[in-house]
């Protein structure tokens, strides 16, 4: 395998830093060609000095001078701002984009990369939740692969290798259940930010950790699965599996179920997506059947974790409803992280926004952008009250 030049959009985040660990462990296979960060200029500078990329982008323009002067003695090109992210994504200097920005902000750079036919290792699930039809259509048109990084979707993708002619009956996404599995609304009403940020099995960025605690993450993943694997909503199921050893499953027409298993470590799906179609060795800890000898499964509690029920509603409704759900959820999660609203209020914000913003059955890209904006302002107006 020749060296693949990786463009990491969101290199300072949880996925981005783990991807750089994978690159550092495999210098003959991968190089970091582009690194981008929104606000953490210190880490971006450190990463740039270590990995010597061709380009870095700092989203926050106020930090441009600091990054520029820190990298003055290198050949690294420095850009800043939201537009620069898109412009750099459109440059033909890399082989694979790792889309690891969090939230809606990841959509436009990913579309730019697809526009020039670059394959995407996709961590940023919100991209598909917001405009999955347009993104996947662009990928098909440009013959660019979209390789999932999300562990559940990586599992499904791995189960589907060699099965191109075989029909899927259903996919079963596993969910850890998050830190509040088994809890009821009378407990959740008092949950504070720091408690919700403690996930039992995974260490992740703040937004996805909160989404995991509310089960919104699993709902976003159902929508992500619909687009990645071209499924109908009723082919996508969720089962709670607290040990997070089975990362997801595919059931075929003969009733046979394939699963992909391993310890919960995002470096595995990240490495798989970067190296695909090859598997490369690593020395990550292995799953030991003796230490986790019981794997259990239960139904998700949709009455308590209503965010998942709302996401299923958006999945069934289609059109711009998932993008409305996503926009309201981003506003609600950041308000919760700033201690502005309570844990259960997040669901209220999402539900009310879904009932308020105009439904469009087959939106254009501009209409997706507009309903995102409309949903954000409405959700924000609820929080200010
Ligand atoms: P994070 O918050 O740790 O990192 C986010 C990255 O995006 C940072 O580099 C940050 O600088 C950048 N960023 C943030 N806002 C931005 C903006 N407005 N414009 C440009 N860049 C911006 O997030 P994360 O946990 O690494 O998650 C990244 C994505 O991967 C999310 O979509 C998440 O759902 C998905 N994902 C994460 C995990 C995980 O284990 N962390 C697992 C599966 C999927
Ligand atoms: Mg996941």
Give the pLDDT score at 199.
85
Ligand 1 close to Cβ of residue 349 (< 6 A): no
165: in domain: yes
Ligand 1 close to Cβ of residue 129 (< 6 A): no
Helices (H), the chain: 14-25, 41-51, 64-70, 82-89, 107-115, 126-141, 151-160, 185-188, 193-196, 206-214, 216-229, 267-275, 306-317, 321-337, 345-356, 365-384
Given a cut of 70, whether residue 139 has pLDDT beyond it is yes
pLDDT band at 203 (very low <50, low <70, confident <90, very high): confident
142 and 175 assigned to the same domain: no
The model's pLDDT over 338-365, given as tens digits with 9 standing for 90+, comes to 999 999 999 999 999 999 999 999 999 9
112 and 175 assigned to the same domain: no
From 116, 148, 180, give the residue that closes a domain: 148
**Ligand 2 midpoint to CA 49 (Å):** 31
Lookup result for tokens 């898109």: 86
Looking at the structure of the chain, the number of domains it has is: 3
Ligand 1 close to Cβ of residue 214 (< 6 A): no
Q: Supply the range of the domain harboring residue 351.
A: 318-385
**Ligand 1 midpoint to CA 205 (Å):** 6
Ligand 1 close to Cβ of residue 202 (< 6 A): yes
313: in domain: no
Give the pLDDT score at 385.
55
Domain CATH code at residue 329: 1.10.1740.10
Given a cut of 90, whether residue 259 has pLDDT beyond it is yes
75 and 208 assigned to the same domain: no
Ligand 1 close to Cβ of residue 81 (< 6 A): no
Nearest residue by C-alpha to atom 21 in ligand 1:
38
């Amino acid at each position: 395998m020749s060296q693949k030049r990786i463009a990491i959009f969101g290199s300072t985040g949880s996925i981005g830093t783990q991807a750089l660990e994978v690159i550092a462990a495999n210098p003959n296979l991968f190089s970091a060609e582009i690194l981008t960060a929104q606000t953490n200029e210190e880490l971006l500078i450190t990463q740039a000095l270590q990995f010597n990329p061709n380009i870095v982008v700092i989203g926050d323009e106020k930090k441009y001078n600091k990054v520029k002067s820190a990298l003055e003695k290198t050949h690294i090109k420095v850009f800043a701002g939201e537009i620069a992210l898109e412009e750099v994504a459109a440059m033909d200097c890399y082989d694979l984009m790792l889309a690891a920005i969090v939230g809606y902000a990841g959509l436009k750079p990913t579309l730019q990369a697809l526009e020039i036919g670059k394959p995407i290792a996709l961590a940023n699930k919100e991209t598909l939740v917001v405009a999955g039809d347009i993104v996947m259509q662009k990928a098909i048109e440009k013959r660019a692969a979209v390789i999932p990084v999300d562990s559940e979707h990586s599992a499904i993708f791995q189960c589907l290798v060699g099965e191109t002619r075989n029909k899927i009956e259903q996919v079963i996404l596993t969910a850890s259940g998050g830190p509040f599995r088994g809890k009821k609304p009378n407990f959740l009403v008092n949950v504070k930010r720091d408690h919700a940020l403690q996930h039992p099995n995974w260490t992740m960025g703040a937004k996805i950790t909160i989404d995991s605690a509310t089960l919104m993450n699993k709902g976003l993943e159902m929508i992500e699965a619909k687009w990645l694997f071209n499924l109908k909503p009723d082919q996508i199921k969720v089962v709670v599996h607290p040990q997070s050893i089975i990362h997801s499953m595919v059931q075929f027409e003969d009733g046979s179920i394939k699963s992909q298993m391993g310890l919960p470590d995002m470096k595995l799906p990240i490495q798989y997506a970067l190296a695909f179609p090859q598997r490369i060795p690593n020395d990550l800890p292995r799953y030991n059947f003796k230490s986790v000898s019981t794997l259990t499964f239960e139904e998700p509690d949709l009455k308590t974790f209503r965010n998942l029920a709302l996401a299923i509603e958006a999945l069934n409704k289609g059109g711009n409803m998932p993008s409305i759900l996503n926009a309201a959820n981003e506003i609600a999660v950041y308000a919760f992280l700033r201690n502005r609203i309570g844990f259960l209020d997040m669901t209220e914000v999402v539900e009310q926004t879904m009932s308020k913003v105009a439904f469009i059955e087959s939106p254009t890209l501009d209409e997706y952008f507009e309903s995102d904006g409309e949903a954000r302002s409405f959700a924000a107006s609820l929080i200010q009250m």
